[in-house]
Structure 1
């Protein structure tokens, strides 16, 4: 049976962040993930997890201005000191919250002539972060993001993910595979999952092209969820979509996929 986590940065946003933990549990989730939890004290997050018997399975290292149109943090050569400070902040949270994985967003390169330099910086920063988080038993992951939504993103395909993974070669570095982003790039998700499941430590999903819940686009989730359930994968599958309608009305896919009721 698949294990689904609710991404509280996109789901239950009808509620303040601290109230989303209880909502996630009430609607059948045993785990949550948060893109950037740093607006809350780590102790407050820990208290909500304990109160509702939830596990926080994943969150991201800070990405600076990436979501506001900037280049981000992890690949910018001039920001390596800032990146290390962000890793230290994440480490403080991870020591208390004990996630299974920490995600690092590669970011954009807005000057194509510097792309190789940005790629080298990202690989060096990945290796640094993987060392830091391995010391507390946490896996480091990174992901590809489609270049339609984020033009200039330095990793926008499965092949580029594999290339970086091989180049860094760290034993505690794996992929976060996002079904939405790779579907948006018209990739064959089923083929990649079948061939490379040993390299994937976390999944995220949304339908494509609108990034809504399963059933609002063209992705064959029945097939993909069956595939993930049938391969040797013990991690979590993160619901990271933008609900069409209310979050609670968007959860019909859960009953068909996991057997848990969409209350």
Structure 2
């Protein structure tokens, strides 16, 4: 089986973020990720990680005002300064907490901005963020998101992500491959992963439909996890799902894979 991690932004949400580290340890996890850790200060996060013998493997760059509908700002030419400030904040957290990979959400295509200008902005922002992170020993990821759940999201396919990586031409840029999003947009998960494995830096999983735990929907996760092992993927596979009922019952359903 792959190396599994728990996403603390979607699991154990019955309690505040600071209390989820303990529950993750009790559930047997040794690796965790947090989408946006910035609600807690670095010292609090470090204490929780150390106290519960957990490694934080991934965080996201700040993505704008989530409550107002932002889903990243990297493709918005009017928010470059804000994006760069977020890169610095993310790098500070990642470096202090030993995080080796950070994820950049491209965001929605802004109104009145054509796709070419948005793509050029995204490329320049990725080059800036990639260089900034590389100097600190950190890898940068980009994530295609499905446009049914998030209409207008700029980056929505593996092919588009690979093309962006080739155009950006920076050595520490890879794809965060979210199985849930890509099953909705493309399907053919195993073939896609095998074809582009060298571009994949991180994998996240949830089932379709509903974005619940593996085993609740249409994806054959036994085949998928076996294939991930066979193809030689050495990174982490993170459970980034929303429990169908509650976290503990969801974890019981996936116990055979963990």
Per the normalisation by structure 2, the TM-score is 0.96
RMSD (CA atoms): 1.3
Q: What is the DSSP-based 3-state SS (H/G/I as helix, E as strand, rest coil) of the residue aligned with 1:74? A: coil
Query: Contact 2:157/2:186 (CA < 8 Å) preserved in 1?
Result: no
Is structure 2 residue 111 aligned with structure 1 residue 111?
yes
Give 1:186 shift. Answer: 3.6
How far residue 220 of structure 1 moved from its aligned partner, in angstroms, is: 1.0
Query: Partner of 1:213: helix, strand, or coil?
Result: coil
The question of 1:60 aligning with 2:60 is answered yes
Distance 1:71 1:48, change over 3 A: closer
Tell me if the contact between 2:72 and 2:107 (Cα under 8 Å) persists in the aligned partners: yes
| Equivalent in the alignment of 1:261 | none
Are 2:72 and 1:94 aligned? Answer: no
| Closer/same/farther in 2, CA of residues 180 and 193 from structure 1, 3 Å limit | same
SS in 1 for 2:114: helix
8 Å Cα contact 2:31-2:54 kept in structure 1: yes
1-side partners of 2:16 and 2:71: how far apart?
28
The structure 1 segments of at least 4 consecutive aligned residues displaced by more than 6 Å after TM superposition are: none
CA distance in 2, matches of 1:51, 1:148: 40
Distance 1:131 1:122 in 2: 14
| In the alignment, structure 1 residue 203 sits paired with structure 2 residue 206 | no
* Structure 2 partner of 1:216: 216
* Structure 1 residue 113: Cα displacement: 5.3
Q: How does 1:35-74 map to 2 (within 5 A)?
A: 35-66=35-66, 68-70=68-70, 72-74=72-74
Q: Give the Cα–Cα distance (whole angstroms) in 2 for the partners of residues 242 and 220 of structure 1.
A: 18
Q: Which residue does the alignment assign to 1:148?
A: 148
Q: Distance in 2 between matches of 1:35 and 1:117?
A: 27
SS of the residue corresponding to residue 196 of structure 2 reads helix
Q: CA deviation at 1:252?
A: 2.7
Equivalent position of 1:166 in the other structure: 166
CA contact (8 A) 2:63 2:70 kept: no
1:237 aligns to what?
Answer: 237
Aligned residues of 1:56 and 1:97 also touching (Cα < 8 A): yes
Q: Gaps (5+ residues) in structure 2?
A: none
Q: CA deviation at 1:70?
A: 3.2
Tell me the matched-pair count: 258
